[in-house]
């Protein structure tokens, strides 16, 4: 069931031009793009939490975002590394030259609340119902709007299939300089253990040197089940820090369980969350990388596309904006089919403890190919190259995975 109420006429004088429900990455960037590129648009962000962006860290490669979209990120103070990044596997250690960027949600909130007019943001405000003519808040207040954009979090659907990316990261302030100069995007030389303390999964440690004496260490898993034992993961992060000689205090922590989509019926899954006349954006609308779960490049692209459309067509109806976003989502689903196939190879063709071999095989390939992969812009020669050579999984299992529809997600809340 979709939480919607019957549409009502939009009062001409009092209506907002756009109400964005959900002030996470997608919603916040749409608001920023409207503010910069459609200055006449009277928008409002309705966010249930105390801050915009929640409690996250978003990272991406510089090449993930085209030049025209990097300007949207220019107002944020980013952590950046231009000297490339390191990867480590049992039989492969390598430095790749691509520049890397990272944005903390605290900085996301700070920059947005400084730039956006304060009357355009409502924090700690729950939206109880959305429809094509506005939003009804949890206290019964009705907010009329010409257009409504639903940017609330992703909702698991039985119509989608895949596995899970489970992670817990801690921000350390070290007693002395840690000595790192580049991020470690994947240190897969660690034991391939499950995130809930038993069994196996593809596991790696992700490390960002945030300053001379601050480092972010994240324990990450590609797992079959959305399960996490936070205490186990905290212990593994502490052990990794100890092994590297990093002593200090934990000053922040984040954790999450993200879907890694390998297939499914996108139209049926969207129908479960779609509200007639309301635009869908963000992960809820299907805008993520199926294998890496990266969202920022797609959020930036959508934000600019929406803002420029509204600036060009101020008379645009909500239904038209909803159809515009739906077309973009369908194109994105079709364009990322190859990555969903690779997800099936990972979760169905490779045994959990041997998934590390799949990634090791991939990271041995040419650096530009890796760049295009993360950006979701793999060429046909790239795709063939990834699948050629000595297969990192058993061929019969690979063939079954290739023609599989994927393992359906369980619809209970990940825990």
In a shared domain, residues 303 and 368: no
In a shared domain, residues 220 and 288: no
* 118 band by pLDDT with thresholds 50, 70 and 90: very high
CATH of the domain at 192: 3.30.9.10
- Structural domain includes residue 36: yes
Instruction: Report percent pLDDT > 70 for the chain.
Output: 91
Going through 12-159 in order, the beta strands assigned E by DSSP cover 16-21, 43-46, 57-61, 79-81, 85-89, 92-96, 100-104, 121-122, 127-131, 134-137, 142-150
Domain range enclosing 346: 337-402
Round to whole Å and give the CA distance between 220 and 251: 19
- Structural domain includes residue 359: yes
Q: Is residue 401 scored above 70 in pLDDT?
A: no
- Structural domain includes residue 84: no
* pLDDT (0 to 100) of residue 5: 39
| pLDDT tens digits for range 207-229 | 999 999 999 999 999 998 899 99
In eight-state DSSP terms, residue 2 is -
Which three-class secondary structure state does DSSP give residue 65? coil
* pLDDT (0 to 100) of residue 327: 97
Question: Average pLDDT, whole number, for the chain?
Answer: 91
Q: End of a domain among 335, 358, 386?
A: 335
* pLDDT (0 to 100) of residue 287: 94
DSSP of 326-375: HHHHHHHHHHTHHHHHHHHIIIIIS-GGGHHHHHHHHHTS-HHHHHHHHT
CA proximity to 25, closest of 64, 46, 53:
53
In a shared domain, residues 274 and 341: no
CB 151 within 8 A of CB 273: no
Q: End of a domain among 335, 353, 377?
A: 335
* 69 band by pLDDT with thresholds 50, 70 and 90: confident
In a shared domain, residues 38 and 115: yes
In a shared domain, residues 150 and 56: yes
- Structural domain includes residue 1: no
Q: In the structure encoding, which two tokens stand for residue 341, read together?
A: 């196939």
Round to whole Å and give the CA distance between 85 and 205: 13
* pLDDT (0 to 100) of residue 390: 66
| pLDDT tens digits for range 78-117 | 999 999 999 999 999 999 999 999 999 999 999 999 999 9
- Structural domain includes residue 49: yes
Structurally, the chain folds into a number of domains equal to 3
Q: End of a domain among 228, 262, 296?
A: 262
Q: What is the mean pLDDT of residues 286-300?
A: 93
Q: Is residue 396 scored above 90 in pLDDT?
A: no
Q: Please give the residue that has the higher pLDDT: either 47 or 10.
A: 47
CATH of the domain at 299: 3.50.50.60
- Structural domain includes residue 269: yes
* pLDDT (0 to 100) of residue 261: 92
In a shared domain, residues 62 and 178: no
In a shared domain, residues 147 and 292: yes
> What are residue 96's DSSP bridge partners?
85
| pLDDT tens digits for range 24-46 | 999 999 999 999 999 999 999 99
In a shared domain, residues 222 and 209: yes
* 68 band by pLDDT with thresholds 50, 70 and 90: confident
In eight-state DSSP terms, residue 409 is P
Round to whole Å and give the CA distance between 391 and 322: 43
Q: Please give the residue that has the higher pLDDT: either 395 or 167.
A: 167
CA angle 107/186/204 to nearest 5° reads: 100
- Structural domain includes residue 242: yes
CB 27 within 8 A of CB 281: yes
In a shared domain, residues 192 and 244: yes
Task: Kindly report the three-state secondary structure assignment for every residue of 168-234.
Answer: EEEEEEECCCCCCCCCEEEECCCCCCCCCCCCCCEEEEEEEECCCCEEEEEEEEEECCCCCCHHHHH
- Structural domain includes residue 296: yes
In a shared domain, residues 43 and 151: yes
Q: Is 2 exposed, middle or buried (0-12, 13-18, 19+ CB in 10 A)?
A: middle
Chain center to CA of 106: 17
In a shared domain, residues 386 and 359: yes
Q: Is residue 12 scored above 50 in pLDDT?
A: no
In a shared domain, residues 144 and 201: no
Q: Is 118 exposed, middle or buried (0-12, 13-18, 19+ CB in 10 A)?
A: exposed
In eight-state DSSP terms, residue 393 is S
CB 130 within 8 A of CB 150: yes
Tell me the pTM. 0.91
137-141, 154-158, 309-313: range with lowest mean pLDDT: 154-158
Q: Is residue 192 scored above 60 in pLDDT?
A: yes
Round to whole Å and give the CA distance between 22 and 9: 23
């Amino acid at each position: 069931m979709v939480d919607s109420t019957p549409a009502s006429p939009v009062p001409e004088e009092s209506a907002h031009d756009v109400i964005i429900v959900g002030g996470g990455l997608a919603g916040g960037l749409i608001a920023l793009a409207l503010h910069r590129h459609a200055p006449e648009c009277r928008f409002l962000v309705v966010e249930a939490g105390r801050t915009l962006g929640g409690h996250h860290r978003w990272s991406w490669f510089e090449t993930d975002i085209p030049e025209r979209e990097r300007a949207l990120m220019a107002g944020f103070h980013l952590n950046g590394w231009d000297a490339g990044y390191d990867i480590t596997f049992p039989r492969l250690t390598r430095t790749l030259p691509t520049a890397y960027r990272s944005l903390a949600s605290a900085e996301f909130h700070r920059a947005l609340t400084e730039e956006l007019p304060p009357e355009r943001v409502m924090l700690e405000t729950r939206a109880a119902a959305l429809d094509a003519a506005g939003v009804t808040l949890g206290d019964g207040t009705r907010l009329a709007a010409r257009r409504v954009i639903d940017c609330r979090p992703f909702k698991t659907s039985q119509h989608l299939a895949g596995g899970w990316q489970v992670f817990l990261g801690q921000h350390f302030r070290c007693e002395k300089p840690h000595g790192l100069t580049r991020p470690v995007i994947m240190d897969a030389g660690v034991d391939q253990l499950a995130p809930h303390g038993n069994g196996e999964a593809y596991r790696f440690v992700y490390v960002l040197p945030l300053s001379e004496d601050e480092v972010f260490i994240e324990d990450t898993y590609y797992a079959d089940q959305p399960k996490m034992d936070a205490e186990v993961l905290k212990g593994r992060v502490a052990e990794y820090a100890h092994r590297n000689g990093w002593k200090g205090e934990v000053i922040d922590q984040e954790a999450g369980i993200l879907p890694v989509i390998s297939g499914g019926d996108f139209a049926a899954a969207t129908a479960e969350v779609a509200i007639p006349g309301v635009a869908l954006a963000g992960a809820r609308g299907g805008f993520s990388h199926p294998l890496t779960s990266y969202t920022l490049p797609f959020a930036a692209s959508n934000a600019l596309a929406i803002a420029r459309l509204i600036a060009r067509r101020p008379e645009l109806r909500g239904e038209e904006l909803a159809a515009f976003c739906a077309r973009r989502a369908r194109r994105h689903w079709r364009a990322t089919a190859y990555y969903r196939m690779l997800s099936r190879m990972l979760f169905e063709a490779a045994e959990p403890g041997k998934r590390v071999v799949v990634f090791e095989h991939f990271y041995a390939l040419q650096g530009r190919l890796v760049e295009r992969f993360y950006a979701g812009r793999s060429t046909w020669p790239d795709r063939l190259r990834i699948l050629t050579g000595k297969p990192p999984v058993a061929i019969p299992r690979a063939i079954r995975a290739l023609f599989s529809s994927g393992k359906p997600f369980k619809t209970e809340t990940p825990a």
